[in-house]
Amino acid sequence: MADLRMAGIGMTSARTRDRLVQRLREQGISNLAVLDRIRNTPRHIFVDEALGSRAYEDTALPIGFGQTISQPYIVARMTEALLEGGPLGTVLEVGTGCGYQTAVLAPLVERLVTIERIGALIDRAKERLKELEIRNVKFQHGDGTQGWKSQAPFEGILVAAAPLVVPQALLEQLTPGGRLIVPVGPEGEQELMRYTRREQGVMRESLGRVAFVPLLGGRS
């Protein structure tokens, strides 16, 4: 029964996932490892059962607590942008949410540490990653705007919610050459940015317009 749940049927089947991957290719996602993770990560187990039939649509879906599971294209785009430039050791994810982005990214890096401010969401994400037998992830219920100093420095940081300005703590916790992928700006005016830490300073690149929930401090 567990295997059937992971594999999916009907609108959650392998054929449906293949169609999603083809759409992502057409939208410009070219990293084969990322596409393979999208194909093989059962997105339907990260959403409520009532939304399972929509899990492989390329759209964000509600997961409760005013949060959403990001659309597959955005997950793929952010992951691809983070991985450009070579393999990564320790990576920080800010905003675990339901754990879908975590599950896509974790097998592609050596070690992933992830922070979520909403306790109920991180508990759910832990259960899902345990089901998927993904074991290189360390979780924390905390304030992601402060990064995770005791686990730093990070070769990569991925932020799954939008601050108005990039928290300085995140830039400071990057290794030389480290990359930060983060949506920045107010609602309706957000850009996906890649910051790369260099000896001479921080290089910034815009990766296009996006729409994310705001990045909040504290925890609940």
pLDDT tens profile 70-123: 999 999 999 999 999 889 999 999 999 999 999 999 999 999 999 999 999 999
In the chain, how many domains are there?
1
Asked whether residue 34 is assigned to any structural domain, the reply reads no
**Cα–Cα dist 18/36, whole Å:** 10
CATH of the domain at 92: 3.40.50.150
Global pTM value: 0.93
Asked whether residue 30 is assigned to any structural domain, the reply reads no
Asked whether residue 137 is assigned to any structural domain, the reply reads yes
Asked whether residue 69 is assigned to any structural domain, the reply reads yes
70 is catalytic: yes
**Cα–Cα dist 99/119, whole Å:** 13
**8-state DSSP, 108:** G
Asked whether residue 168 is assigned to any structural domain, the reply reads yes
The 3-state DSSP class for residue 50 equals: helix
Best CA proximity match to 192, nearest among 174, 206, 178:
206
**Cα–Cα dist 120/65, whole Å:** 9
**Cα–Cα dist 192/181, whole Å:** 7
203's tokens: 């290089």
Asked whether residue 160 is assigned to any structural domain, the reply reads yes
DSSP-derived secondary structure for 12-40: GSHHHHHHHHHHHHHTT---HHHHHHHHH
Asked whether residue 134 is assigned to any structural domain, the reply reads yes
**Cα–Cα dist 215/165, whole Å:** 10
- Residue 87: what are its φ and ψ, rounded to 5°? -60, 155
Q: Which domain holds residue 90?
A: 59-210
First to last CA, the chain: 34
Q: What is the pLDDT along the chain (220 residues), one digit of tens a residue?
A: 455 456 555 566 788 999 999 999 999 999 999 999 999 999 999 999 899 899 999 999 999 998 999 999 999 999 999 999 889 999 999 999 999 999 999 999 999 999 999 999 999 999 999 999 999 999 999 999 999 999 999 999 999 999 999 999 999 999 999 999 999 999 999 999 999 999 889 999 999 999 999 999 999 8
Asked whether residue 25 is assigned to any structural domain, the reply reads no
Q: Which member of 53, 70, 150, 206 is catalytic?
A: 70
